[in-house]
Structure 1
Amino acid sequence: MQRRARTYATGVTGVALVAVLSGCLSACTGSSDDGGGPDTKPGNSSSAGPPAEPGKYRTLPEPCGAVGIGTLKKLLPGAEAAESAGGSSDPSGKGDEADPDASPYKGQAIATYDTDRRVGCRWKSATTLATRHLSVDLERVVSYDPAVSDDEQAQLLYDERAGQAEIPTDDDSSTPPDDGGDAGDGGDGGDDGSNDRDADGDGKSGDKSGKSGDSVKGGSGSDGGDDGSEKSDSGSAAADESGTGPEASQSPDEDLSPRILDDIGDNAYIDDQLDTSDSGVHRDITLVFRSANVIATVKYDQWLTDKRRTPDSAELQENARSVAEELAADFEDD
């Protein structure tokens, strides 16, 4: 009798164990077949809203044709005489000797990895007194976040670049500077992307007098006066390239410091940097504006051979603005 009881108990236990294992197997199989819980990866949730609107611009213009000949002639004094002499902007006359059809106004395209997303062009003009470089960079911004539109991504990128250049905001301009400070300081002038520049103008300085040495942020305007220094026989081009004397001063009602511009594109700022290091005297102007999902960067500089003079900030800023306004008008027409 006792042996039967033990055998019966063992049989009940075995049946119960089989039932438990069967239930577990069914539960596990069911969780695999029904696809599991909801996918919480960004962009894959069924509850996500519609994607943000694409940007206004889907293509970019041909950069070397984006600036008119009339504007280029204004910005590149001396290039017209070089063109009539054989197409070279090199005062030695040897630069483009192998290509008689070359023109300093034609420009040189800047190589990029994807011309559908970014294009650029640069120009150069040289005389015995000075050298000027102009470059245009056009970037079409695309957002890869479905919740952020292309225009919004372009705005974020523009704000980042303005911050890196330390451009004062409207809030900054309303705060008086500390004693001994200079409200026009700040900004980080960028390289113009030109491969033929022979020095780097990235230095900074709080001194705007133009006499401190390496670099001066902020414009020091001038009255365009002549200190009697010797000029070449290139006529009006030489007068344009003479720069300004070391004692020229800014007009009191003209703001030439790095600042926000309200009348170009959707957002814009201009940066101005003077470098008086041993490598040469040059002033670099950088103007950046955003039009919808395109960010345009205009860089314009002047190098002087006479280190006793400084490039005219007001003139260079005006010229850079003329290029930016022309580009912005073309985008608005599209």
Structure 2
Amino acid sequence: GTLDALLPGIKQIADPDQRDKAYQGEAELTYDTDRKVGCRWKVPSADATDRLSVDLERVVSYDNTVSDDDQARQLFEQKETAADLPVPSGTPSANTQSDSADASPSGSPSGSPSPTGSPSGSPSAPTASNSPSGAMAPELQPRTLSGLGDEAYLDDKLGSSGGAAAQRTVTVVFRTSNVVVTIQYEEQPMAAGAAPDSKEMQDRAQNLAAKLDDALGS
């Protein structure tokens, strides 16, 4: 199921007992399991080593003037600020498009070659997410997410390879009521110079987040 997609190496483990142990992962050490629980997995495969961590924290406010939900919102905002997500570029581009639309009568002849540019550019988009240089398609940039909990964001970072395989880390954090969930998914390819596919990793992490969100009853 979900773990098989995130950790493909599990299915490659021949010994049933070792495979079961790999599925179980390793519990995160905590002094208060009523408030915080977590689990970690590290599974190598023929192509890469995958690491996954899932942490759930039930936030409790000890200030009578601050609700549990508000306290959790503050924790989420701290995490989002620390992630330093890029500012969405949609608004400026929209203004640019409206300006060009106003100028369309005089600009339409010169703009006609642009359709020929789009086919040549479109094949490069999928490879951008897989490029060791760190280039990323706009829709895969770190961003806030809608439809997941009360608020959510996704971060995606590609480590410097230095000639070796580059490690990619995808993080999804969301808040549902007073529960903050953090998913961190890492992949390190075996082949030198390779880089994990950004879209594939983001899809897997978001799929897990959606299942956890459903389980929390949001």
Q: Do the structures match in fold with TM over 0.5?
A: yes
State percent identity of aligned pairs: 41
CA contact (8 A) 1:283 1:311 kept: yes
SS of 2:81 mapped into structure 1: helix
Cross-structure match for 2:153: 269
Deviation sequence 1:71-121 (CA, Å, 0-9, x none): 001111121120x334447xxxxxxxxxxxx43111111101111111100
1:71 paired with 2:2, answer: yes
When Rg is computed on C-alpha atoms for both structures, the one with the higher figure is 1
The structure carrying a bigger strand percent of its residues is 2
CA contact (8 A) 2:185 2:205 kept: yes
SS of 1:268 mapped into structure 2: strand
1:167 paired with 2:85, answer: yes
Residue type at the aligned position of 2:202 = Q
CA contact (8 A) 1:221 1:312 kept: no
SS of 1:74 mapped into structure 2: helix
User: Which one scores higher on RCO, CA 8 angstroms, separation ≥ 6?
Assistant: 2
The structure carrying a bigger helix percent of its residues is 2
Deviation sequence 1:217-250 (CA, Å, 0-9, x none): xxx97359xxxxxxxxxxxxxxxxxx95658976
Q: Mark the runs of 5 or more structure 2 residues left unpaired by the alignment.
A: 94-123
SS of 2:3 mapped into structure 1: helix
Cross-structure match for 2:180: 295
Cross-structure match for 2:120: none
SS of 1:115 mapped into structure 2: coil
CA contact (8 A) 2:132 2:194 kept: yes
Cross-structure match for 2:169: 284
Cross-structure match for 1:147: 65
Structure 2 residue aligned with 1:105, among 23, 46, 59?
Answer: 23
Deviation sequence 1:287-308 (CA, Å, 0-9, x none): 0000000000001010012222
SS of 1:143 mapped into structure 2: coil
CA contact (8 A) 1:222 1:313 kept: no
Cross-structure match for 2:33: 115
SS of 2:2 mapped into structure 1: helix
Shift of 1:125: 1.6
Cα distance change of structure 1 residues 311 and 145 upon mapping to structure 2, 3 Å threshold: same
CA contact (8 A) 1:221 1:249 kept: no
Alignment of 1:23-42 (within 5 A): none
TM value normalised by structure 1: 0.51
CA contact (8 A) 2:143 2:154 kept: yes
User: Distance between the aligned counterparts of 2:29 and 2:86, measured in 1?
Assistant: 32
Q: Mark the runs of 5 or more structure 1 residues left unpaired by the alignment.
A: 1-69, 90-101, 177-219, 225-242
Cross-structure match for 1:132: 50
Cα distance change of structure 1 residues 249 and 153 upon mapping to structure 2, 3 Å threshold: closer
SS of 1:125 mapped into structure 2: strand
CA contact (8 A) 2:52 2:183 kept: yes
Residue type at the aligned position of 2:140 = L
Residue type at the aligned position of 2:8 = P
Cα distance change of structure 1 residues 303 and 140 upon mapping to structure 2, 3 Å threshold: same
Which moves more between the two structures, 260-269 or 279-288? 279-288
